[in-house]
Structure 1
Amino acid sequence: MSDTGTGAGSARSRLTVLSGPSGVGKSSVLAELRKQQPDVYFSVSATTRKPRPGEVDGVHYHFVDREKFQQMIDAGEFLEHAEFAGNCYGTPRKPVEEALAAGKPALLEIELQGARQVREAMPDAQLVMLMPPSWEHLVVRLTGRGTEDPAIVERRLAIAREELAAEKEFDEVVVNADVKSAAADLLSLMVGPRISGV
């Protein structure tokens, strides 16, 4: 197989999976990554939940009903899927494979359970965990909002502990102490190491 090496930064066409606990800043890092490298393919998940105000079908999610979602599972159309709070979420396989075939680096942002499923479906996928600078920093992020029931916050913290404990299952770790730096580190992992000495 030949690699023409054309396109933005001659990125390697490899699937990267980004996971990390709630409150670690995944959406902020991904928004910054889009600015730094618009050529990256960002997977759009399918979900059975109803759209929230401002959400656009096919942009934020592919909104489908439960019957359609089950048909997609039965047809093997998902790289991974899971159910949370009564709604189903899944990563469509075909668009990811098409992006990779076109030579684009592809990125999925999913939780731990989904990352494990992707590893089964695509063993050469690169798993990256986004970590907080410290546990204390994450606790402040999750409790500092002050708008949620303490029981919900405690449950989030328990899930975060479980997710951080799975760090050894991941290929790489990016620490989000600064959004721009974290996005640059993630991009470097996706498209290959930068030339040293810069």
Structure 2
Amino acid sequence: MSTTPSGEPGSTVGRPRLTVVSGPSGVGKSSVLAELRRLRPEIFFSVSVTTRTPRPGEVDGVHYHFTDHAEFHRMAGAGELLEHAEYAGNRYGTPRGPVERALAEGRPALLEIEVQGARQVRATMPDAQLVMLLPPSWDVLVDRLTGRGTEDPEVVRRRLAAAREELDAVGEFDATVVNTDVRNAAAELLTLVVGPGLSPHSRS
């Protein structure tokens, strides 16, 4: 079985908690989480806040909460973000309030984020469960990241280096799920998110 939980079994039984999902680019996080959303739409999926300009088709509050640098700085300083980081001149973060409200309502919460962000969440919310989504093998991931061989070799090199760095952090996570098949991976992740007593198979 590819799901390998660790830590303190039973410490959060009976109450919802935040699950943080990380994994290298190309591992299929979007596909697995889309299937998870189909299986259990009641799970709260955190929406990040960003200072980036919306792209065509993006909806405020659905894809991101779009804001300006001043408001983002205020939120970070006031402790309203579980984690935050800067990429390519734009800032991204996870609002604390919606996650805490979902958990208080009895809804499991899920956040997809990079390893660095997962570390910050662990520091600010120690009960959070960290899960890493893994490829079936390194060769499979390389095939996905290199694509058709038409991209600049330096871009490919940076992608592979970033993927290796993410995978090297697997020991910091509470569980792993290998994405050999999207539906199976989503089912295993769901078991981690809501507990083994609520199997998805009867509704898939």
> What TM-score comes out, normalization by structure 1 length?
0.91
Q: 34, 54, 57: which is aligned to 1:54? A: 57
Distance 2:151 2:54 in 1: 22
- Identity rate, percent: 72
- Report the counterpart of residue 65 of structure 1 in structure 2: 68
| 3-state SS of paired residue (2:72) | helix
Change in 2 beyond 3 A, CA 1:143/1:97: same
| 3-state SS of paired residue (1:108) | strand
Counterpart check, 1:159 vs 2:162 = yes
| 3-state SS of paired residue (1:162) | helix
Measured after TM superposition, the shift of residue 148 of structure 1 is 3.2
| 3-state SS of paired residue (1:97) | helix
Letter in 1 for 2:170: E
| 3-state SS of paired residue (1:55) | coil
Change in 2 beyond 3 A, CA 1:145/1:72: farther
- Report the counterpart of residue 21 of structure 1 in structure 2: 24
Measured after TM superposition, the shift of residue 110 of structure 1 is 0.2
Distance 1:22 1:67 in 2: 30
Counterpart check, 1:92 vs 2:95 = yes
| 3-state SS of paired residue (2:47) | coil
Q: CA RMSD in A?
A: 1.7
Please show how residues 123-142 of structure 1 align to structure 2 within 5 Å.
Answer: 123-142=126-145
> What TM-score comes out, normalization by structure 2 length?
0.88
- Report the counterpart of residue 102 of structure 1 in structure 2: 105
Letter in 2 for 1:166: A
Letter in 2 for 1:120: A
Change in 2 beyond 3 A, CA 1:112/1:145: farther
| 3-state SS of paired residue (2:162) | helix
Confirm or deny: 8 A CA contact 2:102 2:108 kept in the other structure: yes
- Report the counterpart of residue 6 of structure 2 in structure 1: none
Confirm or deny: 8 A CA contact 1:11 1:103 kept in the other structure: no
Deviating runs (4+, > 3 A) in structure 1?
145-148
Measured after TM superposition, the shift of residue 194 of structure 1 is 4.2
Unaligned regions of 5+ residues in structure 1, if any?
1-9
Measured after TM superposition, the shift of residue 33 of structure 1 is 0.4
Confirm or deny: 8 A CA contact 1:11 1:104 kept in the other structure: no
Q: How many residues align?
A: 188
